Amino acid sequence: MYLLWLRVAAILYAGGSVAVFFAVLSKSLPWRKTCVHLGGLAFFFHFVSVVEMLVQAHRWMPVGVREIESLLGFVVAGLFFLIWWLYDAISLGIFALPATFFLVFIPSLGPDRYRFPSQTVWMSWLVAHIIALLLAYAALCFSLLASVMYLVQERRIKAKHKPGERSRWAPLDWLPPLDTLERLALATLEFGFPCMTVGLLIGSVLVQETALGAAYFLDPNIIASFAMWLVYVTLLLLRLGMGMRGRKAAYLSGAALVVMMAVWAINFFSQVHRFGPQ
């Protein structure tokens, strides 16, 4: 029965994770209330699940990776709600609630490794995983490109170049306006973030079919991919939540490019992306 409560908690954590982004990034009071209510309900059902799991097993300490993951997620959520209650720091939920969801999601699948019904279903999930991550990286690349073009266009405008005038800036007359480039950089980030989240989530399920199990989260490429996810969150938080625009946002995107290249380099040392169903 504890698995049922844990699955309910996972669904509510997922809803709270979505709500907290709208609450923080758009500073919306209704979304803020939705986030707190969903997260609070998730925490309650999570508490019921943890207590029932330990009572059913006649012990007071977790045993096994999945039980520890569930309890760790409970601690993370508990600390977030304590900080929110004391300091009204709802913005921390943009990191805490998704992290709790990722920690709870795999244990909610069951005490044993998840098994796909067939090879075809497994391959479909694998294709979806690859496409989602490729879309995420492509979106980030477009955002970085728009940011670089923004810097170039800004310098061109400061040079007071006039269209049709012969100068070194003349070949760049085709560059879009600064406002268009700013909106493009933000729109591609907003598109790529859910793709990155879905890709990591599907990957977490796929690896349950292999002998890697929890070692999946210790793989250097997976750690780097979650770091890339944090970069996405940070970029969105600074751009939308704190209103960062213009040159500073462009420089920040340049730093994200360095992180992305590091992720691609680490991929060559990964053991995860050489697996298949067993």
Are residues 162 and 259 part of one domain?
A: yes
pLDDT digits (tens, 9 = 90+) for 128-149: 988 998 898 888 888 888 888 8
Residues 25 and 151 in one domain: no
User: Is residue 11 domain-resident?
Assistant: yes
Determine phi and psi for 158, rounding to 5 degrees.
-65, -25
What's the pLDDT at 277? 44
Pair 72, 160 in one domain: no
The domain tally of the chain equals: 2
pLDDT at 14: 93
Q: Residues 158, 253: one domain?
A: yes
Residues 92 and 145 reside in one and the same domain: no
Using a pLDDT cut of 70, give the percent of the chain over it.
74
Judgement on whether residues 126 and 73 belong to the same structural domain of the protein: no
Same domain, 89 and 173: no
Task: Evaluate whether residue 114 is within a structural domain.
Answer: no
**What mean pLDDT comes out for the span 26-41?**
90
pLDDT of residue 272: 55
∠ CA 7-113-225 to the nearest 5 degrees? 80
Contacts of 233 (CB under 8 A, 6+ apart): 94, 95, 98, 193
Interacting residues of 85 by C-beta distance below 8 A, sequence separation 6+: none
Q: What is the pLDDT of residues 85-125, one digit of tens each?
A: 998 888 888 888 988 998 888 888 776 666 777 788 888 88
Structure tokens at 257: 């490019």
pLDDT top residue among 211 and 93: 93
**What length does the chain have?**
278
Give the pLDDT score at 167.
63
pLDDT of residue 82: 93
pLDDT at 176: 81
Range of the domain at 224: 119-274
Pair (101, 34) in one structural domain: yes
| Stronger pLDDT, 267 or 108, i.e. the higher one | 108
pLDDT band at 5; cut points 50, 70, 90: very high
Q: Find the mean pLDDT for residues 185-194.
A: 85
Do residues 124 and 37 share a domain?
Answer: no
Q: Are 33 and 60 in contact (CB under 8 A)?
A: no
End residue of a domain, out of 68, 89, 108: 108
